[in-house]
Amino acid sequence: MALRSLLRHEALLALILAVALAVLAIDNERFFTAANLLNQGRLMTEVGLIAVVMTFVIITGGIDLSVGSILGLCAILVGVFWKTLGLPLPVAMVLCLVVGTLAGFVNGLIVTRFRVPPLIATLATLALYRGLAEGISQAQSIRGYPSWFFVLGQGNVLGVPTQLWLLAIVALVGFFILRFTAFGRATYAIGNNEMGAEFSGIDVVRTKLLIYSASGFVSALAALVFVSRVSTTRSDMGTGIELDVITAVVLGGTSIFGGRGLVVGTLIGLCLVQVLKNGLALSGVKGDGTIVIIGFVLIAAVLVSNLLRRYSSD
């Protein structure tokens, strides 16, 4: 049992993260400082918020490629609701969360009711939501938010960035639901055998609708954090973030085929990707080189994990 615990993907990934931290700290003295690490925490929060729920999505055997477009749409709408329509900013923020949740619900509806494969459904809504964001914004950015709004993306609580506390809350809720509730067990059951889960009495449609709606909700939440952090809104916000999210989730050990995954693994994968991005940038490695190295680490971690899993099962 102890050997199997050591050979778990998450344990292997944690070891890789520790080695990466040590190597990068030795290579550059600016890397392993509290200021730098907390700043990296700020930068990875938007991806982390979405990745927690994407873990649920992928465990069911699905995928959500539209999260970046939902983020961009909600980022634009919070500015439009507030400045263009004249609504109080707190009301605009709530409406932003409602729109994001509705966008996720539409994804779930297409996947469950119309039986469209998640890859195709969310690829289509990726284009739809991004087009809506660009059409509504008309290439105009919105600025001038009140100072209290920036606490969400630029403030600190007890010396820790505000958004990291938010990420911790979302991660803890996700961990608890997946690990200790009937909903979490239903999520795994759907990913392992959807038809079998349905025959065993699990409401597959309802479960998927809730998961995709939650994916839209956290994308909207990430939009609020993003806007607060950069102090403006643009329609191209969130472009490509879905790839970072999926990389963190898959690197964290969640099977793209469904039925296996942990929120803890996703968080370790998220930290590893951000550590490599930051450490390599500080070491003078250009963007293309960083992408290549992260890709290599992703492939190597998955291959080694598969080999160790076969070994431990023998």
The CATH code of the domain that includes 160 is: 1.10.3470
Domain assignment of residue 31, given as a range: 10-283
Average pLDDT of the segment spanning 27-37: 86
Q: Which residues, in sequence order, are CB contacts of 252 under 8 Å at separation 6+?
A: 9, 10, 13, 51, 55, 261, 262, 264, 265, 266, 267, 268, 269, 270
Beta bridge partners of 160: 157
Q: Any idea which of 234-238, 240-244, 304-308 has the lowest mean pLDDT? A: 304-308
- Judge residue 49's burial from the number of C-beta atoms within 10 Å of its C-beta, 0-12 exposed, 13-18 middle, 19 or more buried: buried
Contact 272, 48 (CB under 8 A): no
- pLDDT tens digits, residue range 127-166? 999 999 999 998 788 899 999 999 999 999 999 999 999 9
Is residue 1 situated within a structural domain? no
User: Looking at the 3D structure of the chain, how many domains does it have?
Assistant: 1
Is residue 222 situated within a structural domain? yes
Q: How far apart are CA 20 and CA 28, in angstroms?
A: 12
> What three-state secondary structure class fits 142?
strand
Closest alpha carbon to 133 in 46, 66, 83? 66
pLDDT of 313? 58
Q: Which residues, in sequence order, are CB contacts of 306 under 8 Å at separation 6+?
A: none
Is residue 310 situated within a structural domain? no
Q: How far apart are CA 232 and CA 59, in angstroms?
A: 34
pLDDT of 6? 41
Is residue 179 situated within a structural domain? yes
Neighbouring CB atoms inside 10 A of 237's CB total 25
Is residue 307 situated within a structural domain? no
Apex 103 CA angle, 102 and 105, nearest 5: 60
Reply yes or no on whether the pLDDT at 176 is more than 50: yes
Q: What is the mean pLDDT of the chain?
A: 91
Average pLDDT of the segment spanning 177-191: 97
pLDDT tier at 314, thresholds 50, 70, 90 = low
Reply yes or no on whether the pLDDT at 184 is more than 70: yes
- Judge residue 171's burial from the number of C-beta atoms within 10 Å of its C-beta, 0-12 exposed, 13-18 middle, 19 or more buried: buried
- Judge residue 150's burial from the number of C-beta atoms within 10 Å of its C-beta, 0-12 exposed, 13-18 middle, 19 or more buried: middle
pLDDT tier at 309, thresholds 50, 70, 90 = low
Percent of the chain surpassing pLDDT 70: 95
pLDDT tier at 298, thresholds 50, 70, 90 = confident
Give backbone dihedrals phi and psi of 142, rounded to 5 degrees, phi first: -120, 125
Contact 31, 279 (CB under 8 A): yes
> What three-state secondary structure class fits 156?
strand
pLDDT tier at 300, thresholds 50, 70, 90 = confident
- pLDDT tens digits, residue range 87-134? 999 999 999 999 999 999 999 999 999 999 999 999 999 999 999 999
Is residue 15 situated within a structural domain? yes
Average pLDDT of the segment spanning 243-271: 92
Contact 56, 211 (CB under 8 A): yes
pLDDT of 312? 57
Is residue 20 situated within a structural domain? yes
Is residue 303 situated within a structural domain? no
In single-letter form, the type of residue at position 22 comes to: A
- What are the start-end ranges of the H helices in 60-115? 67-79, 89-113
Reply yes or no on whether the pLDDT at 303 is more than 50: yes
